[in-house]
Every structure is written in C-alpha cells, then in structure tokens.
Amino acid sequence: MRTPALTDPEPAAAQAPAAQAPAAHAPAAQEPAAQAPTAQAPAAGSVTLVIPTFNESANVAELLRRLSAALPARLPCEVLFVDDSTDDTPQAIEKAAQDCPFPVAVLHREQAHGGLGGAVVEGVERAGTDWVVVMDADLQHPPHLVPELVGEGERTGAELVVASRYTSGGSRAGLAGSYRIAVSRGATWLAKGLFPRALRGISDPMSGFFAMRRSAIASPQTLQPLGYKILLELAVRCRPATVAEVPFVFQERYAGESKSTAREGLRFLAHLAALRSATPLARMIGFGLIGLSGFVPNLAALWLLTHALGLHYLPAEIVANQAGVLWNFVLIELLLFRDRRRHRHWADRIGRFALLANADLLLRIPLIALLVAELGLGVLPATALALVTTFVLRFAATEALVYLPRSGHRATGRHRKARTPSPRDSRDSSVTA
C-alpha cells in the first residue's frame, strides 16, 4: 500500500491505492470524486519526503531515479518538492515523476518566505504521514539512507533521527575546500555552545538530512525559520524527547552550484540570535548588551563632533546620542525582533524607538533627584538604581510600543499544475506517477 500524491493545500490522507491513481496527464474527469477525511490517522511508518529546491533542474531526475531504486515497495512514501526556482526545475520534476513508483508533488512558491527553512515548514504543513524526511535535491544526501533513517526511528522509538557527518562512520568528504570545512565546524561548535541542552545528542546540528515524527513537530505557526538550517530550528523549538543518529558520508554535489553564500552565513548568525533571544529574559539581556555596545558609536561621534568639527560639547552630546540610538536600533532589528517588524513601517519603528531612547535621558535625571532628595540615597547608588529602572522600563516599552507581536499568518505557495486542475481550485494540482 502507498499513500497518494498530495493535492491542494490539505494534508495527504489515505485514499485509493496508488496503483489506481490517474496518470500524470489524465483528464480531470478521471480524478477521484472526493478525498478521504484528513483526520484519519497516518499509516505507521508512512513517510513524506520534503525536498526544498531552488534551480536544481539538473539534479531532480537523478534524485528521483535513485529514490526509486532505494525505497522499498513496502514503505508508504510520497515525495513533495517545495520549489522556489526561477528555472525549469518544476517541469523537470514533472517529467521525471512519470517513471516513479511513488506519488510526487510540486509546491511552487511565488514568494520564498524564510528561504529553504521556510520551504521545509510549508512542506511539513502539508504532510499527513507518520514521518517527515527532509533532504536536499543536489544528491549530497544519499537517497539510499532514507529507509535507514526511518527504520532507526521505528527501532529506537526516537522522535528525531539525524544523518550525521560527525558520528562514527560519517564523513564530510563532499565539503569543497578547507574554508567550507572550517565554516561548517565553527557553525556546529557555535550552535552547540549556545544550545547545549536542546542539541544534546545531536553531533551535527547543521545537517540538512534528517527524519522527524510529524507528531513531534510543533504547530508550524510557532516555527520561524530563517535561511537553510531548519534542523536547528526544529530541535530548539520542538525539543524532541529522544534523538538518534545515523552516520552518512556527505557527497559532492551532482550538478549545479552551491547555494551556500556569505549572505546565508549572516542569516545563520541572525537565526542563532533569534533562537537564543526567544524568551523575555534572554531578550532583555540581549537588549542590555546591545545598549552597552551603543557606547562605542556614541563616543566616536562625540569625539568627531567636538575635536574634528569643534562643536560645543552640549549639542555634541545630543547629536552623538543619536548615533548610539541608530546603532542600537539596527542591532535590535536584526538580532532581537526580526520576526516582529512587519506590522509597522520602518520609519514608524525608528521614530518610536528614538523617542523612547531619548525619553530615557529626560526620565533618568528627575528620578535620580527624587531618589537622593526623598529617599536619602547617595548619588552613585541613586544613579545605578535609576539606570536599572529606566533600562527595564525602556525594554518593556520598546517591546510593547515598537514591536507588538504581529498576527500569525504565513503566506502560502501554490501547487504547480501538472494535469487538468480540479474544479475545487484551478491553481492547485499535483504531479502523480
């Protein structure tokens, strides 16, 4: 028995046996009249392979050929490509899918929200199977390991099974050059250092090849992927109870060019910061550290204005303070509240932020005077207490008045047409074989 191809935005559910599925270009009249209820429990051990693609037309045919050879007939399996390509990758998938013994679908996204990680989350949203396996389309992840990943999870009861380059028997041989090896290792150490508990038992948190029980994945609305390290996002936010690993040898890319760039590296660092600052206490600490770093541009601007331009120190102090405010705003935008920026225009956000930052100065001096005159505190303790008080108030006001949580919604893609669409949605259809 095999699960059917995915159709429309609803999760896959048990339907007619795959042998009765219509051919890829059959007329719409031959489609099943209705789907089975989506609430039906997935078959034990059933698998959805979620494969994000961006301009991988030269790889997909060979990938599907190897998957066809590797997946046993007894494994209920379907393949979902979530595609952000600007080339003919969807057409290449449609052509290759005709020879596959399992259902294949393409979800082509008009906007690539969240990058590769966002593509995986959209694929997970549509998976109605027991397991979700995530892998790349460039054949650096060996297709023959897919049954082994699922089998290890079934055997051990693990909720997450990671294909690891850094466990015994694994290798990073396919990484091109010492630079990429050093970057990969450094990213791994950094991630494990920041999240020692969440990544306990995962030797390769940078792996893009893993299997996870669908029941262990939190609601997709709670996931906030950024870039291509989706395993890190799932491990930190979902906290699977049990983890297993399967060694694998990272292969050389079959065709095309790597999508790993310096920009993706910066997105990875921003993602780490967002994950680490997910709790209010962590955000407050990050807010304070960013505020301390703002003294550097503040003092640099003050020196430039007074020494280089000869400005009087009082107006120079006011202008220099704005340099620190701008510095703090940029870092807070990028590192702390990246996921809360869409509900206000950037000019509105920076205006509110600057107003709060400058109001801090106006509040601090009267507060110090009050503490000294009314409570009898010394100047130094009063100043320290005022600094702490205004810092907490500014953090709370910044979070509430500048970065109110935006309403949770995710832009959805559309299924690429591969046959005559059903009347239910003229834009959504599936590739079947």
Q: What is the pLDDT of residues 53-97, one digit of tens each?
A: 998 999 999 999 999 999 988 889 999 999 999 999 999 999 999
Q: What is the pLDDT of residues 147-187, one digit of tens each?
A: 999 999 999 999 999 999 988 888 877 665 566 677 777 77
Cα gap 90→105, rounded to integer Å: 10
Identify the residue with better confidence: 245 or 305: 245
Strands 160-164, 131-134: pairing kind: unpaired
- Supply the pLDDT for residue 14: 36
- Supply the pLDDT for residue 90: 92
- Supply the pLDDT for residue 420: 29
pLDDT band at 277 (very low <50, low <70, confident <90, very high): low
Q: Where are the domains of the chain?
A: 18-276+410-415, 280-341+344-402
- Supply the pLDDT for residue 38: 40
Short-list 220, 217, 229, 221, CA closest to 405: 221
Short-list 275, 314, 320, CA closest to 296: 320
Q: What is the mean pLDDT of the chain?
A: 76
Q: What is the pLDDT of residues 115-147, one digit of tens each?
A: 788 889 899 889 989 999 999 999 999 999 999
Sign of the alpha-carbon dihedral angle for 304, 310, 311, 313? positive
Cα gap 184→206, rounded to integer Å: 8
Q: What is the pTM for the complete model shown?
A: 0.60
Write phi, then psi, for 107 (nearest 5 degrees): -110, 105
Cα gap 195→200, rounded to integer Å: 8
Tell whether the model's pLDDT for residue 402 goes beyond 80.
Answer: yes
- Supply the pLDDT for residue 130: 92
Cα gap 262→57, rounded to integer Å: 24
Tell me what the mean pLDDT of segment 286-292 comes to: 82
Percentage of the chain beyond pLDDT 90 is: 25
pLDDT band at 278 (very low <50, low <70, confident <90, very high): low
Q: Which residues contact 231 (CB under 8 A, 6 or more apart)?
A: 134, 162, 202, 205, 206, 207, 208, 210
Determine the 3-state secondary structure of 396 from DSSP. Answer: helix
Q: What is the pLDDT of residues 92-112, one digit of tens each?
A: 999 999 989 999 999 999 887
Q: What is the pLDDT of residues 204-231, one digit of tens each?
A: 988 889 999 998 887 766 677 666 678 8
CA angle 95, 58, 257 (to 5 degrees): 155
- Supply the pLDDT for residue 425: 33
Short-list 11, 4, 42, CA closest to 215: 42
Cα gap 230→19, rounded to integer Å: 34
CA angle 172, 214, 222 (to 5 degrees): 90
pLDDT band at 246 (very low <50, low <70, confident <90, very high): very high
- Supply the pLDDT for residue 261: 61
Tell whether the model's pLDDT for residue 380 goes beyond 60.
Answer: yes
Tell whether the model's pLDDT for residue 19 goes beyond 50.
Answer: no
Q: Which CATH topology does 18-276+410-415 take?
A: Spore Coat Polysaccharide Biosynthesis Protein SpsA; Chain A (3.90.550)
Write the single-letter amino acid at 431: V
- Supply the pLDDT for residue 358: 80
Tell whether the model's pLDDT for residue 18 goes beyond 60.
Answer: no
pLDDT band at 333 (very low <50, low <70, confident <90, very high): confident
